[in-house]
């Protein structure tokens, strides 16, 4: 499904129908928003299902941070400034790999630099909703993350 458009994936999963996709595509021409964001805004699909489909589209795992234990040892490996700068949340350590959550599947994350900083061999990314990443960052690094966005 890596070559499929998000609308095709959502239809294949029976989350939307062709009429809803065509409506979103027409609106996209006017607003320049992504089709997925239009569908969420119009309440055709919940945001977390959009992000599950985006994870599939980009061949990466999806993590629901509201149901995922975030290991404090992982948090301590990455400074708050780096987590905020790249919009990531360290989730867990698997052997010599640091698992991080990201809110944008197209984001360019300096994996080698973060791995080196965290004293790990590699970084494994999972997709989360951007809101979940912001909330987890605020929860695990302190309230300054959300206050800075206000």
Phi-psi region at 131: left, alpha or beta (left = phi > 0; alpha = psi -120 to 50): alpha
Q: What tens digit of pLDDT does each residue of 49-72 get?
A: 999 999 999 999 999 999 999 999
* pTM of the complete model beyond 0.85: no
Q: What tens digit of pLDDT does each residue of 85-104 get?
A: 999 999 999 999 999 999 99
Contact by Cβ (8 Å): 95, 103: no
CA angle at 101 for the pair 31 and 133, rounded to the nearest 5°: 60
Contact by Cβ (8 Å): 82, 117: yes
Q: At a CB cut-off of 8 Å and minimum separation 6, what does 87 contact?
A: 102, 103, 104, 107, 130, 133
Q: In terms of C-beta density within 10 A (0-12 exposed, 13-18 middle, 19 or more buried), how is residue 98 classed?
A: buried
Helix, strand, coil % over all residues of the chain, rounded to 5:
50, 15, 35
């Amino acid at each position: 499904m890596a070559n499929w458009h998000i609308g095709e994936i959502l239809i294949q999963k029976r989350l939307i129908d062709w009429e809803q996709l065509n409506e979103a595509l027409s609106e996209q021409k006017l607003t320049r928003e992504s089709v997925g964001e239009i569908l969420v805004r119009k309440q055709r699909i919940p945001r977390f299902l959009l992000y599950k489909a985006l994870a599939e589209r980009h061949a990466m795992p999806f993590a629901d941070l509201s149901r995922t234990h975030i290991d404090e040892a992982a948090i301590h490996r990455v400074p708050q400034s780096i987590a905020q700068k790249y919009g990531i949340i360290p989730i867990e350590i698997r052997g010599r790999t640091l698992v991080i959550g990201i809110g944008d599947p197209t984001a360019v994350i300096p994996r080698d630099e973060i791995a080196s900083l965290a004293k790990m061999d590699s970084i494994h990314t999972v997709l989360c909703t951007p809101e979940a990443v912001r909330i987890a960052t605020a929860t695990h690094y302190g309230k300054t993350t959300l206050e800075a966005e206000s």
